[in-house]
Amino acid sequence: MLTTTALPHPAELLPHRHPMLLLDTIQTYTPGESVTAATFVHPETIFFEGHFPGEPILPGVILVEMMFQTCGLFGRLEGLQNAQAGEVRQIKSGRAIKIDTLTFNEPVLPNDHLLITAVFSHKLLNFSVFNARVDIAGRGRTAARGTVTVLINP
């Protein structure tokens, strides 16, 4: 069983690389239930260059990508968990499929610390549905929340 001390770096699990690897660490993982990742929003991030000069706000589409990447972590951690239990399961790839009822509640600013949580809802074939959210640590506010669906190809 994976423990919090044994959680890998997101780059060990996801195919994304800079500048599209948006997650810094995996904070928690509960097998079969949820995963929480964290990231620091650097003031010099490329997304602030034009969104918006003088009043930088992290684009909402980047928050959505953080949610999808966190779902990808869950799928890959589940694969590792199952492999340790003796079941052979290697996750080959995954991709974003659907966004439902997504709301943006609070702007994300430079120097914010974010916690991105994906709670597994249900699965249909290779499609996994998650309730996801991005919380701004320190402000006690939710930046975005919604239901996202990912395809995970075993």
Provide the annotated active-site residues: 51
Look at residue 150 and give its three-state secondary structure.
strand
- 105 vs 107: CA distance, rounded Å: 7
Q: Which amino acid is at 122?
A: H
Measured from the Cβ of residue 125, the count of other Cβ atoms closer than 10 Å reads 6
Strand partners of residue 37: 26, 116
Measured from the Cβ of residue 20, the count of other Cβ atoms closer than 10 Å reads 11
**Inter-residue contact 34 to 118 (CB < 8 Å):** yes
